[in-house]
Structure 1
């Protein structure tokens, strides 16, 4: 007879071949006269269950132990009962077996992958939001600049305002420093007064550019020959003059108290003026 097994919740897993063997042993024991009435009733109940459900019959550990006690006189019977008991215990152990190292590692890798994907998605979302806010004003700040970072003269490329004296031409790596004046720093101020004035200067320059008549012209920086465009000249930035309705924005900001004159000669510049914190003390 081929071997077959079936598992039912809360009971033993019985191999079909062993079940038939066990039924034969129970019938043999019932034919003997040495059983007590209780043992005879117990074996009859187990045999009835095995006859009715076959390999799907569920026997508890306690029932299997009683079978071992009753059928233990015959080595063959005892071996069949013990085999069934071992099958039950092994099935229950496999049901509650702890996860292997490989499965734990796989689950950990999946969780880490989900976490990394979530972090990457968050970074991309933040970058997208930042780019939207950063590039949104471009249409309002259209101006004309040189096609090349080092080409002198005006052409038609848009730019954005970085702060009161710096703009950034779209498509260029570095910014363009507006010459002839210096505004308070808003990114690295030396005092709170300078930071507030730097914010106001930036906002005012945006207002001027938004008028729609801004024109940016690239000019040579006051640097040593051969250094323009490198970190040794104006931190790698180009230089320019920005006019609105024909007026230099530097002169407008100076007149409004948001900038001070800063004029370089030849290839040398004086010390950058930053009087805003000195005025506060």
Structure 2
């Protein structure tokens, strides 16, 4: 009975019968088959591993593919490369109708890779859903309809709060960086105090946008000409000014100690100010 098992991700082990069978076929290939220097070295390395570790030896997906390529799907040397030591005539071995253990190992390894990809995708989706719900209910703001992030001027569309100085307009690929100020980082802080202050700035901005009188105005980013809307300009984000009851939210957050001024001129910005880790909480 042929079987295999996996004890760790990223490889496969063989049952005792399969290990001995594979070792015998590798030895035969090293003696009978016409092999390139690389193939001979590869088979010798695999044979050494099998002899040292027995059925506890682990072979990667790439190694299984190479074995299948050299030996054939049934674990025996490929017929177009093998000659016997007694005659120069090519031998033809009977075809196996049942799946070989090498083929099953490769299929299993591919299924595991596909399963891992699905798990990663699910984790990413859960993270995205969490970030959407974590930003709170979607808010609306006043102004004229603007579908594109390249259109400068007032926009009437739903958005979510990402952090203290960034919002995300519904339907846009990237967020909108609010200009004129910088708030502490909560996602990549330099210290615990900055993270806590960044959480407070985000919470405060969510409170401010509950006002029925909101206006977000898209403005040009301080980037080189022609780079607006690309990753080379502000990480692909657009830029804007958000006002609550006619007041710039940046000035409100600065006045409450939750932000500092950050003024760009032309197509250049100074170094992003982050003074919070030098302060006491």
Q: Which ranges of structure 2 fall in alignment gaps of 5 or more residues?
A: 1-95
Instruction: Please give the root-mean-square deviation of Cα atoms over the aligned residues, in Å.
Output: 3.0
CA contact (8 A) 1:146 1:217 kept: no
CA distance in 2, matches of 1:129, 1:245: 35
Match of 1:217 in 2: 217
Q: What do the CA deviations read for 1:12-37 (whole angstroms, capped 9, x no partner)?
A: xxxxxxxxxxxxxxxxxxxxxxxxxx
1:134 to 131, 136, 158: 131
Please show how residues 66-145 of structure 1 align to structure 2 within 5 Å.
102-136=99-133, 137=135, 139-143=137-141
**Deviation (angstroms), 1:183:** 0.7
CA distance in 1, matches of 2:172, 2:239: 13
Normalised to the residue count of structure 2, the TM-score between the two structures is: 0.55
CA distance in 2, matches of 1:274, 1:223: 21
2:100 aligned counterpart, secondary structure: helix
Distance 1:142 1:130, change over 3 A: farther
Higher helix content, 1 or 2: 1
Distance 1:210 1:113, change over 3 A: farther
CA contact (8 A) 1:140 1:210 kept: no
Q: Which structure's CA Rg is the greater one?
A: 1
Match of 1:199 in 2: 199
Q: Which ranges of structure 1 fall in alignment gaps of 5 or more residues?
A: 1-98
Normalised to the residue count of structure 1, the TM-score between the two structures is: 0.55
**Deviation (angstroms), 1:205:** 1.4
Task: Give the total of aligned pairs.
Answer: 183
1:183 matched to 2:180: no
CA contact (8 A) 2:176 2:237 kept: yes
Distance 1:186 1:238, change over 3 A: same
